[in-house]
Structure 1
Amino acid sequence: MARATIKQVAAAAEVSTATVSRVLNNSDYVSEEIKERVMAAVNRLNYRPSAIARSLKQDRTYMIGVIVPDISNPYFMGISRGVEDIVGKEGFQLIFCSSDENPEKERRLLKLLQEKRVDAVVLATSGGNDPAIKQIADSNMPIVLVDRKLDSPDTGSMLDLVAEDNTEGASRLTRKLLEEGHTAIGVVNGPTRSSTGRERLEGVRNAMKAFGLNEGPMVYNGDFSTEDGIRAVQQFLNAEHRPTAIISLNNRMSLGVLLEIVRSGLKIPADMAVASFGEVEAGPLLKESGLYYMEQHPYDMGIKAGEILLSRIREEARQDPPAYEIYSNEVKQLI
C-alpha cells in the first residue's frame, strides 16, 4: 500500500498543504477546528511526514554520529548513553559505529557519516586520522572528541575534548602496586597510536621512576581486547623473570588478564597482584581479590559531551573556544 502524501491529507481535511504543514510543525496560528480536521485526516490516512524532506527544508537531520573503538565495551556504552540522554531531549538520535581500533575503518565511517549529513560527530579516535578529522572540523560540522586526543596538537586544539587524566591516573594506579613492594611489574597496554595508550604507559613509567626504579616494566602492547589480556598473561608467565604484579590499562584487557590468571590456577593477589585502569564487570566475582582499579565515570563524560554538542549545534557557542574537560578519577580496591 502506497504511503499517504501531504496532498492527500490536505484534500481529506479540505485545507491547503501549507495549512497541513503549519499544523504538523505548530509553526503558525491555526484554529482548533482546522487542527482537529487535519489531525483526523492524518490519523485516518496513517500519514507520516518525510524525515528526508524535513531535513532538507531545515538543513538538519537530527542525527548525531558516534564512533568509538568498541560499542560493546561498557565504558563506551556509558559515554554513549550519557550523550543520548542529553541530545535525545532535543529530538536528536544517535548513529552508533564501532571502528574496532582500525584507523582505516574509522576513516570510512567518518566519510559515511558526512554522506548521511549528520548534524555532529562524537569520536573516540583510533589514531592516524587527523587530516580526515580536520576536514570535518573545517566544514563547520561540530565534532567532540571523547576519551582520546588527536596526534596533532594543532588540530586537537581546535576541537572540543572530554577525556580523563590518563597519565596521572595510571601513575596513581601503579603507585598502589609499588607501595605494596612490587618492583617486577608487567604492563598490558593498548596501541601507542592512541593517546590513551601513550599517556597511560607514560604514567606507569613516571611512577616507577619516582620510586627510583631505573629498569622499566615488561610491556605487552595489544589492541584493548580481552584476547590481548589473555595473551599478555601467557607471555608474562612464560618469561624468565616473571612479574609479581600486572597493571592492565583498559577494562577489556583486564577481563582477559583475570580470566587467564584464574585459568592458570594462580590466586589474586597471593600469586599475582592486579591493577586495572577501569572497572571490570567480573571483578566482584573474585572474592578477597584485592584488585585495584581506577574508578571511571563514562556516563558523566557522555553528559558533558552531549551538552557541548547541543551548544555547538544551536550555534550559541559556535564561536567560543574549544571546551577542554579532563576528569580525574580515584583508585579503588575490591576487598
Structure 2
Amino acid sequence: MSTIRDVSKLAGVSVATISRFLNQSGYVSKEAEETILAAIQKLNYKPNNIARSLAGKKTSTIALLVPDILNPFFPEIARAAEDAASRLGYTLILCNTDHNPDKERNYIDVLINKRIDGIIISSYTIRPEQIYALEAENIPVVVIDNAWHDTSIVSISTDNRAGGQMAAQHLLECGCRKIGHICGPYHIAAAKDRMLGYEDACSQQEWFTPSLMVYGDFSVSGGYHAMRELYDKHPDVDGVFAGNDLMAAGAMKALHELGVRIPDQMKVIGYDGIQMDMFSPALSTIAQPIYSIGELAMTYLDQMIKEKPLEKKSYPIDVQLIVNASSRLP
C-alpha cells in the first residue's frame, strides 16, 4: 500500500506540498501538480482523506497505538482514553504494535486511509518524522509516555528521572546498604531516565558499581532473570529498584525461589503503579497517574481536532511514591 511519503519521494516534492495539493489548502505550482498527479497514478495511491478534507467531514473515530496490550499499564491508558472519547462523541480503535516498527508503520498507513480524525500514540519506536508525516495529512497526534525536546509534538509524560531518583532515595532512607537496579530496554527514553535517576541517588555511595545495574525488558520474565543475575553478582545486595512493576513482580518471584525474605532481607520497589493483586507482599512503587494520562491525552486530542489552541506542547505530570509492605521497615 503506497503512502504519501512514497508519492513525495517519487515526485521529488515535500510531503507538505503534496498535502496542500490534496487538500487544496495552499499554492502549488502547475509543474508540481503535474508531477504529483503522475506519481499518484504510477503508485496507485488512494488518499481517502481527500473526501474528508474537501467536504469538511469528520469520521468521529480516533486511534490509540500501544506497544504491549499485555502490560497492565496500557489497558488502563486505553480505558481512560475510551471513557473520554465516548463522552466527547468519538469511537476509539485500539492498535497493539508489539514493539514492532513494521507493524506500527502498517497501522499508521491503514489509519491514514481510514480517514481517522486523530491518533494517540504510546510507542518506544516511533520517530518524530513519522508524526510530522501524520500532521501533514491533517491528522492530529498526541504522544504519551514519550517526548522529544525542542519539537512541536504534543506530549504527555512524567519526569522519569525524578521518579527513579525518588525510588532509590526511598530505599536508602529504609536503611538499604547496597541497592541494585533492574533497568528496562536501553533504547527506551523512560527506562534510561529511570536508570539515570537511580545513578543520581546512588553513584556517590561507597558501594556503588555499574554492575549493580542489570538489564531487563519490561516483562515479568525479564525481571526474574535480571534478579537472578544481580543476586549472583552481588549476594549482599539488600535493596532493588525495578524499572517497572512487571519486572518487580519477576524479581520478587526470583527472590522467593532463592529463599530471600521480602522486606526483611531485601526491599523491593517498582515503577508505574499498575493495579496488580498478585504481589505478595504488596509492592511499593513510583505511581504514575495512569488514568489521568489517558484522559488528558484524549482531551488534548479533541482540542486539536477542533482546531482549538493549546497552551503548550509538553505536559509533564508528577509521580507519587507509594510505600507498601515490600519496602516497609519492620
Shorter-chain-normalised TM-score: which range?
0.7 to 0.9
Q: What CA distance in whole angstroms lies between the structure 1 residues aligned with 2:79 and 2:259?
A: 37
Question: TM-score scaled to structure 1, two decimals?
Answer: 0.74
Check conservation: 2:217, 2:223, Cα contact below 8 A: no
Greater CA radius of gyration, 1 or 2?
1
Q: Match for 2:219 among 217, 221, 225?
A: 225
Check conservation: 1:125, 1:194, Cα contact below 8 A: no
Deviations 1:90-145, CA, capped at 9 Å, x for gaps: 32111112222233332332223223221111111213523222211333311001
Question: TM-score scaled to structure 2, two decimals?
Answer: 0.75
Check conservation: 1:106, 1:126, Cα contact below 8 A: no
Give the 3-state SS of the residue equivalent to 1:70 in structure 2.
coil
Range with greater deviation from structure 2 (198-207 or 93-102): 93-102
- Give percent identity, aligned residues only: 25
Q: 1:74-153 maps to which residues of 2 (within 5 A)?
A: 74-127=72-125, 129-150=127-148, 153=149
Q: 1:124-273 maps to which residues of 2 (within 5 A)?
A: 124-127=122-125, 129-150=127-148, 153-154=149-150, 157-209=151-203, 215-216=209-210, 218-239=212-233, 241-273=235-267
The one-letter code of the counterpart of 2:64 is V
1:137 and 1:101, CA in 2 relative to 1: closer, same or farther beyond 3 A?
Answer: same
Q: What CA distance in whole angstroms lies between the structure 2 residues aligned with 1:243 and 1:141?
A: 50
Check conservation: 1:255, 1:280, Cα contact below 8 A: no
1:216 and 1:237, CA in 2 relative to 1: closer, same or farther beyond 3 A?
Answer: closer
Check conservation: 1:101, 1:223, Cα contact below 8 A: no
Deviations 1:144-171, CA, capped at 9 Å, x for gaps: 0111124xx34xx211111111110110
Give the 3-state SS of the residue equivalent to 1:277 in structure 2.
strand
Q: What CA distance in whole angstroms lies between the structure 2 residues aligned with 1:242 and 1:133?
A: 47
1:264 and 1:116, CA in 2 relative to 1: closer, same or farther beyond 3 A?
Answer: farther
Matched with 1:326 is 316
Check conservation: 2:212, 2:234, Cα contact below 8 A: no
Deviations 1:57-79, CA, capped at 9 Å, x for gaps: 65322221111122232222222
Q: What CA distance in whole angstroms lies between the structure 1 residues aligned with 2:105 and 2:207?
A: 41
The one-letter code of the counterpart of 2:76 is G
Does residue 279 of structure 1 match 2:255?
A: no
The one-letter code of the counterpart of 2:324 is L
Output the aligned Cα RMSD.
Answer: 2.5
Shift of 1:240: 5.2
Deviations 1:19-61, CA, capped at 9 Å, x for gaps: xxxxxxxxxxxxxxxxxxxxxxxxxxxxxxxxx9x97965322
Number of paired residues? 275
Give the 3-state SS of the residue equivalent to 2:142 in structure 1.
strand
